[in-house]
Amino acid sequence: MTPTLSEAVAAARTGALPGSSCGELAAGAADVADIVARIERVLGRGGAPVALHEPRFAGNEKRYLVDCIDTGWVSYAGQYVTRFEEALAAASGVRHAIAMASGTVALQVALELAGVRRGDEVIIPALTFVASANAVMHCGGLPHLADSDETSLGLDPKKLDAHLADVAETTADGCRNRLTGRRIAAVMPMHTFGHPVDLDALTEVAARWRLPIVEDAAESLGSLYKGAPVGRHGLLAALSFNGNKIVTTGGGGAILTSDDALARRARHITTTAKLPHRWEFVHDEVGYNFRMPNLNAAVGLGQLEQLTGFLDAKRALASRYAAEFAGCNAARIHGDQPWATGNAWLVPLVLQPGLAHLREPLLEATNDNGIMTRPVWRLMHRLPMYAGVPRMDLSTAESLEMRIVSLPSSVKHGLAA
């Protein structure tokens, strides 16, 4: 009798792994049961449901929030926006942080400030959250999809360089796609799950093709590249503080830059382009209302004060997963590259090449048993609105898409060591 998948999972949880002893279990089900058992041992949850990533409010969040309400400073002016921005800039090693209503609009404004104009193409990885591509569209551009690197899960600089050599040429105003006739205006790497791409290698390629870098650092607050925080290697970077990110403001984002003029301009156009005056309403261009309210910044400041503890806990949890999976033949935990110390935002399990067919059963076995796991995002060119955009060979991203499963990664599981 071959046990069903759920029987195998149940047996694995109690420590009796039937696949290894009876040999009757379909090899795939035994691998899935083994992976679930390892996840269970790391979480030690005693049967309670586990979220993929839950926020933790253990600091001054409530006190700061009440202070906003008590003083009436709830909206676009107030000390918490300024304090949050100063703390963010310090944590990221940049001169300026400009808080915004979401990570998506922070990306949009960053791209606009980097010079992306209507009709331009922007290089982004195909393996990213849809907001990266949407932000390009929102500023009038078109995503141009690039492949990822198995070692970083982010943009592959070598492959991008070879692709640009095939399709692009440098011009007086930057870079042009010879196939489409459009300008390629920027490259926007994304640090997947907080794992930094090889920024030095990418910087070299970007410089050769005269492309400014805008970092989509939405997932990577606290991640280090060669010992320094990410978000300062490009002209601009964007962070997100959505509820599932390492630090949350409920909803929000920020632009990081060390360029004084860009920072001034970011502030200006995201606050309706209003000229300072004691009472006159004078606006000198079509601006946005993209600023972060003081209420959200108050929560964010309380969160940011705990960042070091969050990072320690999340890195400890990632290490426990890595140790538990060290002897697993079917899958590996994606760890830090030599150049990086990631923030361990979400811990990705990567199935071995050839075992992609285990992804669905693994998602089913975990989610059916109260362990919330998720696949990586559907690749951009497989979404209807981006099916026709320019792209290069995406074989590594396509392989990774079918093999990545994100594991529960909340701070609380790192604390309960």
Ligand X SMILES: *Cc1c(COP(=O)(O)O)cnc(C)c1O
**∠ at Cα 348 (316, 395), nearest 5°?**
150
Nearer residue to ligand X within complex by CB, 111 or 262: 111
Count of residues in the chain: 417
The count of residues interacting with ligand X (CB under 6 A) is: 14
Any contact of residue 148 with ligand X (CB under 6 A)?
no
> Residue type for 61, please?
E
Q: Name the residue among 413, 417, 410, 407 with its Cα closest to residue 36.
A: 407
Nearer residue to ligand X within complex by CB, 240 or 303: 240
Nearer residue to ligand X within complex by CB, 42 or 397: 397
What is the x/- site pattern for ligand X, positions 11-30, by CB under 6 A? Answer: --------------------
Query: How far from the centroid of its chain's Cα atoms is residue 15's Cα?
Result: 35
Any contact of residue 103 with ligand X (CB under 6 A)?
yes
- Contacting range for ligand X; rule: CB under 6 A; set: 125-133, 310-318, 320-328, 330-338: 125-133
Distance CA(275)–CA(268), nearest Å, equals 8
Any contact of residue 108 with ligand X (CB under 6 A)?
no
Contact 11, 3 (CB under 8 A): yes
Tokens of 353: 């090449």
Contact 76, 291 (CB under 8 A): yes
3-state secondary structure at position 198: coil
Any contact of residue 88 with ligand X (CB under 6 A)?
no
Nearer residue to ligand X within complex by CB, 132 or 177: 132
Any contact of residue 240 with ligand X (CB under 6 A)?
yes
Nearer residue to ligand X within complex by CB, 34 or 156: 156
Question: Which residue has the CB atom at the shortest distance from ligand X?
Answer: 103
φ and ψ at 102, to 5 degrees?
Answer: -160, 165
Q: How far is the CB of 301 from ligand X (least distance, A)?
A: 17
Nearer residue to ligand X within complex by CB, 196 or 361: 196
Q: Tokens 């898409």: give the residue.
A: 401
Nearer residue to ligand X within complex by CB, 234 or 361: 234
Q: How far is the CB of 188 from ligand X (least distance, A)?
A: 9
- Contacting range for ligand X; rule: CB under 6 A; set: 35-43, 72-80, 200-208, 215-223: 215-223
Any contact of residue 223 with ligand X (CB under 6 A)?
no
Q: Which of 81, 190, 236, 266 binds ligand X (CB under 6 A)?
A: 190
Any contact of residue 102 with ligand X (CB under 6 A)?
yes
3-state secondary structure at position 142: strand
Q: Which of 92, 128, 343, 373 binds ligand X (CB under 6 A)?
A: 128
- Which helix (H) or strand (E) segment holds residue 35: the answer is helix 27-43
Any contact of residue 104 with ligand X (CB under 6 A)?
yes
- Contacting range for ligand X; rule: CB under 6 A; set: 43-51, 123-131, 137-145, 284-292: 123-131
**∠ at Cα 351 (350, 354), nearest 5°?**
140
Spell out the residues 6+ positions from residue 383 whose beta carbon is closer than 8 angstroms to its own: 130, 133
Contact 43, 338 (CB under 8 A): no
Spell out the residues 6+ positions from residue 206 whose beta carbon is closer than 8 angstroms to its own: 187, 212, 213
Roughly how many angstroms between the first and final C-alpha of the chain, as a whole number?
38
Contact 140, 118 (CB under 8 A): yes
> Residue type for 330, please?
A
- Which helix (H) or strand (E) segment holds residue 350: the answer is strand 347-351
Q: How far is the CB of 254 from ligand X (least distance, A)?
A: 10
Nearer residue to ligand X within complex by CB, 5 or 133: 133
Any contact of residue 409 with ligand X (CB under 6 A)?
no
Q: How far is the CB of 329 from ligand X (least distance, A)?
A: 31
- 130 by Cβ neighbours in 10 Å (0-12 / 13-18 / 19+) ranks as middle
Q: How far is the CB of 132 from ligand X (least distance, A)?
A: 5
Q: How far is the CB of 219 from ligand X (least distance, A)?
A: 5
Q: How far is the CB of 193 from ligand X (least distance, A)?
A: 9
Q: Which chain residues interact with ligand X by CB under 6 A?
A: 102-104, 128-129, 131-132, 190, 216, 218-219, 240, 242, 253
